[in-house]
Structure 1
Amino acid sequence: MVSPGTGDLGSFLNIAKGIWRWVDYIHIREKKLTLEEQMYWAQGLKTQGVPSDRIIMNGSDQLDQHASIGGVHWGQAVIHSYDKDELRTVDRLRVGISVHSLEEAKVAEKQGADYLFYGHVYASNSKPNCEPRGLSALAEVCSNVSIPVIAIGGIRPENIAAIRTAGARGAAVISTIWTTDKPELAAASLRQAITDSDKYAEPRR
């Protein structure tokens, strides 16, 4: 789950408290907040029972500030500032990169990223004026990198099977959780869709 970028801490914590058991990670993506404010949000998640290693911070390149959480997530610009050895300076820190092409995906993998966000795959409220990249482009990226690719953009329970068939290891969601009055049900439905897709997937080689 990726936060909606509204800066509303109370709503964020209230929803996170109800859904964190259904999701693998909670991704704090609040671009208007300072690093200190984002770390305050992370602390708030911990008080709601969210394990530290399931909290991801977006944007900051100050690696030494993140030893108390699970990882950081960057755009293309930041990862070029580091080499593989530097990305391992903080124990347990996962590094994710948002990519929008196969070329960007290969660069991020070479630089030492642990996983990729690729999208937007479907039409998305977050990208209202941008053409979605689609399943074929997602499949191309997934088949040409060895690290996990997470699909983002317009992901709903009914298209989980399609993104998994394309090779995505998982899904990142924003509006599917934040625009419903039943976020726990939405999160549970997404988790069930992933579980169902795994039952019928061919064994990975």
Structure 2
Amino acid sequence: MNTTGLAAERNEKNKRLIDRSPKQIDTCSPTCCQDDSSFEMHIVSTNKGERTTVLNVVKQIWPWVDYIHIREKQLSLQQHFIWARHMTESGVPSSRIVINGANPFVPSEFCRGAHWSQKMLTKAEESMNAVNKGERMRLGVSVHSIHEARVAADYGADYLFFGHVYTSRSKPDLTPRGLEALAEVCSGVDIPVIAIGGIQASNIQAVRLAGARGAAVISSVFQHEDPAHAIRLIKQAAERVI
């Protein structure tokens, strides 16, 4: 299938997702909503416990993003699932929702993806060997080096978060890792790498040129006065023909 055909197929798939209610979307493989030419858009919650704020923003922007990550480190896993339930009840498809710390082997009607930190991956490595991709939810892992990226890929992760790439408002005191480090990770593993940290419309093409297969944003959307407008600009910039 040529690029035009892939794009048309993806557009039709997204249209079907929008037209269906959350309860109808009850299955999703680890590689759903993707094709080889796609560039994934991820949105990550603010980590401030602002459930109402996050929910209001997510309701506005979900048609323009592929995955919505609930990552609230101060909350329990059960509270993460409560947030996910509120999202699905508000019309957000469960196939778009990813829960930080979730067990990918335990199915849920409220999410179809799990994301792990390095600490979670290390703990899992100690208790089991590489995971079977065919019998679980889609699994992502946050990495900060080429070594961590290869370990996560060998374990069986479906994709990686790498960052922070640029100066980030969520980590203002830490030096960004930059495009060169991003490119090294992208070329060093065979699974998609999602760039995170300071991603905006003005720099998203640069991370794509470095080899990233997607981008994750937080402040550039949640702190914008018009979140829907902000995510549309970022998505349009990412899809612009070079």
Say yes or no: TM over 0.5: yes
- Partner of 1:106 in structure 2? 150
**Is the aligned partner of 1:3 residue 2:45?**
yes
Summarize the alignment of residues 75-114 of structure 1 with structure 2, pairs less than 5 Å apart: 75-80=117-122, 81=124, 82-85=128-131, 88-90=134-136, 93-114=137-158
Tell me the number of residue pairs that the alignment of Structure 1 and Structure 2 aligns: 196
- Partner of 2:62 in structure 1? 20
The TM-score with structure 2 as length reference comes to 0.77
**Deviation readout 1:26-79 (Å, 9 max, x if unpaired):** 000011111111111101111121111110001234742646411110012222
SS state of the match for residue 141, structure 2?
strand
Equivalent-residue separation in structure 2 for 1:33 and 1:169 (angstroms) = 29
**Is the aligned partner of 1:37 residue 2:79?**
yes
- Partner of 1:166 in structure 2? 210
**Is the aligned partner of 1:57 residue 2:99?**
yes
Q: Is the 8 A contact 2:100 2:116 kept in 1?
A: yes
- Partner of 1:123 in structure 2? 167
- Partner of 2:116 in structure 1? 74
SS state of the match for residue 137, structure 1?
helix
Give the superposition deviation at 1:148: 0.2
Equivalent-residue separation in structure 1 for 2:121 and 2:79 (angstroms) = 23
Equivalent-residue separation in structure 2 for 1:7 and 1:88 (angstroms) = 33
Give the superposition deviation at 1:11: 1.0
SS state of the match for residue 45, structure 1?
helix
SS state of the match for residue 117, structure 1?
strand
Equivalent-residue separation in structure 2 for 1:170 and 1:87 (angstroms) = 20
Q: Is the 8 A contact 1:83 1:112 kept in 2?
A: no
Q: Residue 47 of structure 1: which of 84, 89, 108 is its match? A: 89
Give the superposition deviation at 1:6: 1.3
Q: Tell me the amino acid that sits aligned with residue 29 of structure 1.
A: R
**CA shift in 2, pair 1:84/1:67, >3 Å:** farther
**Deviation readout 1:133-170 (Å, 9 max, x if unpaired):** 00000000001101000000000001011000000001
SS state of the match for residue 192, structure 1?
helix
Give the superposition deviation at 1:186: 0.5
**Deviation readout 1:162-184 (Å, 9 max, x if unpaired):** 00000000100010011111101
Equivalent-residue separation in structure 1 for 2:192 and 2:109 (angstroms) = 22
Equivalent-residue separation in structure 2 for 1:155 and 1:14 (angstroms) = 21
Q: Is the 8 A contact 1:61 1:78 kept in 2?
A: no
Equivalent-residue separation in structure 2 for 1:146 and 1:157 (angstroms) = 26
**Deviation readout 1:72-106 (Å, 9 max, x if unpaired):** 1001222241433366543xx11000000000000
**CA shift in 2, pair 1:188/1:62, >3 Å:** closer
Percent identical residues: 49
Q: Tell me the amino acid that sits aligned with residue 31 of structure 1.
A: K
SS state of the match for residue 204, structure 2?
helix
Q: Tell me the amino acid that sits aligned with residue 108 of structure 1.
A: A
The TM-score with structure 1 as length reference comes to 0.90
Q: Which runs of 5+ in 1 are unaligned?
A: 201-205
Q: Tell me the amino acid that sits aligned with residue 59 of structure 1.
A: G
Q: Which runs of 5+ in 2 are unaligned?
A: 1-42
